[in-house]
Amino acid sequence: MKVIRGFVVLMMLTSLDAGQSDVVLGASATIVLVVPADADEFERKAATLLQRWLRPNRPEIAAEDKLGDTAGQLVFAIGRTRWADKEKLASLWQDGFVIRRTNDIIVIAGGKPRGTLFGAVRFLDRFCGVRFYLPDQLFTSAAKQRLAIPATLDITEEPFVRATSMSGPLPVPGYNDWLLRIAGNTRAGLAGTHQHNMWHAFPPEKFAKRWPEIYPIVKGERYIPQAAADQKWNPCFSEPKLLDAAEETVIEYYRAHPDHLWYSFGIQDSHVMCECPRCAAFVKQRKERVTACSELFWRFMNALAERLEKKLPGKRIEGLAYSMTRVPPPFKLHRNIVVFTNLHIAELDADPFMKRGEDGVTPLDRWLNVAGVYANHDWHQGSGYLIPRIYSGYWSRFMRHLKTKTPFTYQHAETYPNFGLDGAKSYVLAQTWWNPDVDTVVLWRQFCDDMFSSAAGPMFEYFAMLEKLWTSLDNVEGPERKLNRWSNQFVTTEKDRETIRRCRALLDEAKSLVRSDAEQKRVELFSKTFRLSEYLFEFAAGPPVSAARIEEAKRHVQEAIIPDPLTLYPNMRSMRVIEAAIKGAIGKKPVTKTNGGHRTTP
């Protein structure tokens, strides 16, 4: 046996001629990776990825039209080769894939070429144990078991979430490749924004002179925005000419982007709605302003979808259930309308959208009952937090519930990741997007087994305790932990502080158990980042804080946090932000100084 890059391969290849045995890859195996003559960039990426990990001596990558005799070789047919079942692939969602073995041919092919890459990633995960947890080579695992390919192999997979996106790029080498491999941005090439898009939908330079009526009355005057950044308006959703303008915009958009999944009519990020006599009368009739404004908007969306169906059959439009449009309408929406809610899954047990009404129905289910296609935008970050924020169990509950209600969905997460605090949270998120039935506890266990070996036990318990801590802080004990609200983010009870102490003990235990430099570096990433949270929890909870302790925390940030891009999201690795967080944590408690060996309070 020989260890290659951390995983074990057997130095043999079983009976290729028979084609009916398990294949065990090793240095003596003769493998060829075959790509189509006109291989797409994703098919080439898939072949290169497999080439890197399948064996110590990189197998050849051959174009199908240049392929010679393959007798005695194991052939990996990557993408749209002659061995792929074109009819089967045509029935798949484009990011889905098949992995199939027939004798000595192993086919990995997607509905479209990007699906082929996802198939290669799944093959490496399932049969080689190679997994991409964080965007750094240090957090790419390699299997420690035999790499056996079964004689009978027939896998077909499609993602439950057909368009995913994670916002918050990182200046870390390999970040984009990592995001691609975990299928974290499958919306790329399939859709534009889903958010505040009214300026682009109704650009004043195009419509203001022709149809000024489509712009709102605000405080008694016609309001025509002057800049794309202006969020303090929304069009008049009761104006009939708005349908004409919207139709024109959508037709032009799909002419330029025929493969996109939707065009967005996401409302602006404000509570401003038109106050013209028609809109005002509708609001007065419905009594509740948000209910009325929501109904006006979704009536407009239904009318537009019905009109577009005649000219653009099957093409979708998207609306944002947010702010003044967040209330589900009392009618079914057109099948071509995508509804993007903005539910905060981190607060699943506290969010009113998850609470049943008098009729036993939650607001979430009200949306699922009326939406043509359902989607959600989650605040998954990251940025704005200096405490661990893991809630994989909540996410699993949410995704599994969606699967019982709808055949597919779209999802966006503002990740802006703090990897040093939240570990594999984004990886686990992506796995639930692909398959809501995956067990998130098993995924966290797998992460710890792959990354920490003999220290896997305490590290698994550490991340489980962090999830327990978040649940307690934000959903049980309170207060709600808002973005950048340093005055309450670090408030704890004695029970919480006991959990924090237990987390530190687990990290210390893991440090004593690691066996390799790589494992030590991984534990140290989480240890040093959590240390910052500990300082802030301490400052918020304790008696008067010493100036020396504050300086110690700042030195830790300068020496351990700021230099490492995996600790916190870039804008969080700022001394200005850290100082604001320290000030917020201390609040009105006095800071003590040391003077000639005596503590004094200023």
DSSP string across 175-221: HHHHHHHTT--TTTTT----SB-HHHHS-HHHHTTT-GGGSPEETTE
Nearest 5°: the CA angle 471, 476, 482 is: 70
Region 256-261 average pLDDT: 96
Nearest 5°: the CA angle 163, 387, 465 is: 90
Say which residue the tokens 């349908």 belong to. Answer: 243
Encoded amino acid at 446, one letter: Q
Give the closest residue to 100 by CA, choosing from 90, 114, 116. Answer: 116
Instruction: Report the distance separating Cα 426 and Cα 442, nearest Å.
Output: 15
Residue 2 has pLDDT above 60, yes or no: no
Instruction: Choose between 237 and 24: higher pLDDT.
Output: 237
pLDDT in tens, 571-599: 999 999 999 999 999 998 888 875 433 33
Both tokens of 477, joined, read 């004990």
pLDDT in tens, 530-562: 999 999 999 999 888 999 999 999 999 999 999
Residue 13 has pLDDT above 60, yes or no: no
412 and 194 in contact (C-beta within 8 Å)? yes
Q: At 475, is the pLDDT very low, low, confident or very high (cuts 50, 70, 90)?
A: confident
User: Could you tell me where the beta strands, DSSP code E, fall in 511-597?
Assistant: 545-546, 591-595
Mean pLDDT of the chain: 91
* Domain topology for 2-158: Chitobiase; domain 2 (3.30.379)
453 and 438 in contact (C-beta within 8 Å)? no
Instruction: Report the distance separating Cα 463 and Cα 530, nearest Å.
Output: 11
Encoded amino acid at 270, one letter: S
- Residue 93, pLDDT score: 97
- Residue 54, pLDDT score: 83
79 and 45 in contact (C-beta within 8 Å)? no
pLDDT in tens, 307-364: 999 999 999 999 999 999 999 999 999 999 999 999 889 887 766 666 777 888 888 9
Least confident of 144-153, 162-171, 239-248: 144-153
pLDDT in tens, 55-77: 666 789 999 999 888 888 889 99
**Helices 456-470 and 517-541 sit at what angle, rounded to 10 degrees?**
30
Q: At 50, is the pLDDT very low, low, confident or very high (cuts 50, 70, 90)?
A: very high
- Residue 146, pLDDT score: 63
- Residue 16, pLDDT score: 38
Q: At 141, is the pLDDT very low, low, confident or very high (cuts 50, 70, 90)?
A: very high
Q: 3-class SS at 248?
A: helix
Q: Which residues, 6+ apart, have CB-to-CB distance to 465 below 8 Å?
A: 499, 502, 503, 506
- Residue 362, pLDDT score: 85
Q: At 481, is the pLDDT very low, low, confident or very high (cuts 50, 70, 90)?
A: confident
CA 109 distance to own-chain centroid:
24
569 and 383 in contact (C-beta within 8 Å)? yes
Encoded amino acid at 473, one letter: L
- Residue 348, pLDDT score: 79
Residue 27 has pLDDT above 70, yes or no: no
Least confident of 15-29, 38-52, 417-431, 449-463: 15-29
Give the closest residue to 294 by CA, choosing from 216, 376, 237. Answer: 237
How far, CA to CA in Å, does 117 sit from each of 363, 399, 446, 572? 38, 24, 22, 33
Q: At 158, is the pLDDT very low, low, confident or very high (cuts 50, 70, 90)?
A: very high
Region 467-491 average pLDDT: 91
Residue 198 has pLDDT above 50, yes or no: yes
Residue 5 has pLDDT above 80, yes or no: no
- Residue 349, pLDDT score: 74
The secondary element (H helix, E strand) that includes residue 145 is none
Q: Which residues, 6+ apart, have CB-to-CB distance to 262 below 8 Å?
A: 191, 194, 316, 317, 318, 338
- Residue 390, pLDDT score: 97
- Residue 145, pLDDT score: 55
How far, CA to CA in Å, does 210 sit from each of 53, 232, 245, 307, 591? 60, 22, 10, 21, 64
Residue 224 has pLDDT above 60, yes or no: yes
